[in-house]
Amino acid sequence: MGSITTVSHEARLLCRQNRLTNTAGVAPGYLQANLLILPGEYASDFHNLCLRNPVACPLLGMSSTPGNPRTVKPAGCIDSADFDVCTDFPKYRVYKGGKYQESRTEIASLWTETHVAFLIGCSYSFEDALTAAGLPPRHQRTKSVVAMYRSNIPILPAGIFTGAHCIVSMRPYRLDQIDRVREVTRPYLSTHGEPVAWGWDGAKQLGIADITKPDFGEPQIFENDEVPVFWACGVTPQIAVEAAGENIEGLVFAHEPGHMLVTDWTAADLENLQSSSI
Amino acid sequence: MGSITTVSHEARLLCRQNRLTNTAGVAPGYLQANLLILPGEYASDFHNLCLRNPVACPLLGMSSTPGNPRTVKPAGCIDSADFDVCTDFPKYRVYKGGKYQESRTEIASLWTETHVAFLIGCSYSFEDALTAAGLPPRHQRTKSVVAMYRSNIPILPAGIFTGAHCIVSMRPYRLDQIDRVREVTRPYLSTHGEPVAWGWDGAKQLGIADITKPDFGEPQIFENDEVPVFWACGVTPQIAVEAAGENIEGLVFAHEPGHMLVTDWTAADLENLQSSSI
């Protein structure tokens, strides 16, 4: 095991040991990542899905060789020699034939040499910037998991991945704060960027009937005149896997919503990330 | 004027002289481009719009310096020393305050030193590949302009560009041809790639009520058991300009739908285009 050198490495170790669950607010300044792992024969279609839907599925990195869960490209994503994509998320979900099977704290015993891992940008990454701008996300203050909803925004098809819709995360803000919220999150193109919709009209346009009943995470409290503000969410790949259903043979793994990987990238890497092609 | 060296250069000259209108099938093998030109203060928002919506607005190139209509980056897009974005499309549309004003054969007299031009991928680019695969687009055989429709696919917001929806182009094919049609167009990520929807159910999902009444271009004939197949369309930026309305001061220019720029890029450049960051 390498020596612990960074706050991000330390956070990954805590996740590996299952001493952390919800990673919101963990290792401030470091980018966090969603996960999708699938058999290699579907990797090309999934890669195209990311390129065609970069707001919901911004590609941050992938396992460098099929079958190797211990290194990730591009360089810089995980600097530590002490890494395993099968253990370093706090919790995993297992899918078979497009159906959720179970949640687990590791997937090392299920990983095969055909598997390819994809790291997808996460909106937790811009929450420090929101806090620094005097706009701290409600769920961080209440120590809850961000609320996530199924929306009617279509995910544009790529190969076997057809018929999915975008998952959105929601943070309450006042109407007079929205311009600033949009500005602060706009540069984070690789971690969902600016909101996709806002306000009660926005919720209606997205087809969200009841804001008190999120599909993932926990309901959030609205104070004063706050309205919902929605960002695309990296849980979306799991919905694409559900939609692909029996077209996928073999096991698919993903992170448990809200339980992310802490990477070694920081906001300073955002511009390079956008121009890197994986 | 430089000497005419390529089929693509020759086609541009014919367009400049207004001896060509609909460019479908012109200069086979060369990629064609949609156009949006807007005052420089909106260039960053529009650039983000392209990055966030790459299926509808795949960014191929842009004018290399604000105010210079005669060169385009990245290199290779237009090799000729004999080029002007203000004359080399067969026809232009002029917008003011989000409203269409008029169509013209050139915009040289309206261009100002603040203007920035964006070239957007066009689905005409993969039509040669469809023809080579024995799947020639109907509108090429009937010498008509491809049918284009307003759809309900939301264009994800970027700065002043909010509330727009995707325009789609449509080509009729039989259900048993669709897998092959998807395969052939899939690699063309920079020119809209594979279809976004297909079949009569697909038309319904996109909110297209009457296939005989396209919003742009001309209605297409359905033979035997053919169904509509829809691709995202580079007319979409014009809808984003309409939606931005009075938020844009100054004149905006675009191509007339179906009247494209013939670039010097070929299908062989597709992979480089996808990994280039402009």
Arithmetic mean of pLDDT, B156-172: 98
Q: Which of A52, A153, A194 sits opposite B154 (nearest CB)?
A: A153
Give the residue among A79, A111, A114, A77 at the shortest CA–CA distance from A92: A111
Query: Helices marked H in chain B — which ranges?
Result: 7-16, 43-52, 127-132, 138-141, 178-185, 199-205, 236-244, 270-275
Residue position matching structure tokens 């409600």: A138
Q: How far is B121 from chain A (nearest CA, A)?
A: 14
Identify the residue with better confidence: B242 or A22. B242
On whether any CB of chain B is under 8 Å from the CB of A179, the answer is no
Same domain, yes or no, for B120 and B130? no
Average pLDDT, chain A: 93
On whether any CB of chain B is under 8 Å from the CB of A74, the answer is no
Residue A112: CATH number of its domain? 3.40.1640.10
Q: Which of A60-64, A79-83, B67-71 has the lowest mean pLDDT?
A: A79-83
d(CA A270, CA A247): 35
Whether A63 contacts A71, CB under 8 Å:
yes
Residue A1 counted as domain residue: no
pLDDT recorded at residue A240: 97
Same domain, yes or no, for A136 and A227? yes
Give percent of chain B above pLDDT 70: 98
d(CA A101, CA A90): 17
Same domain, yes or no, for A210 and A79? no
Same domain, yes or no, for A13 and A103? yes
pLDDT tens-digit readout, A86-134: 999 999 999 999 999 999 999 999 999 999 999 999 998 899 999 999 9
CB-CB under 8 Å, B156 with A48: no
Same domain, yes or no, for A206 and A116? no
CB-CB under 8 Å, B52 with A54: yes
Q: Which of A153, A156, A186 sits opposite B55 (nearest CB)?
A: A156
On whether any CB of chain A is under 8 Å from the CB of B247, the answer is no
Same domain, yes or no, for A165 and A87? no
CB-CB under 8 Å, B196 with A154: yes
pLDDT tens-digit readout, A17-28: 999 888 888 998
pLDDT recorded at residue B1: 47
d(CA B152, CA B197): 12
Same domain, yes or no, for B33 and B79? yes
pLDDT recorded at residue B137: 96
On whether any CB of chain A is under 8 Å from the CB of B274, the answer is yes
One-letter amino acid identity for B166?
A: C
What is the extent of the structural domain holding A199? 126-232
* Residues in chain B within 8 Å Cβ distance of A205: 154
* Residues in chain B within 8 Å Cβ distance of A195: 157
B271, pLDDT greater than 80: no
Domain count, chain A: 2
pLDDT tens-digit readout, B105-128: 999 999 999 999 999 999 988 999
* Residues in chain B within 8 Å Cβ distance of A208: none
pLDDT recorded at residue A27: 92
pLDDT recorded at residue B2: 53
Same domain, yes or no, for A78 and A151? no
Same domain, yes or no, for B158 and B250? no
A48, pLDDT greater than 60: yes
Arithmetic mean of pLDDT, A231-246: 96
pLDDT recorded at residue A2: 52
On whether any CB of chain A is under 8 Å from the CB of B158, the answer is yes
Residue B155 counted as domain residue: yes
Q: Which of A55, A275, A277 sits opposite B156 (nearest CB)?
A: A55
- Banded model confidence at residue A1, pLDDT cuts 50, 70, 90: very low
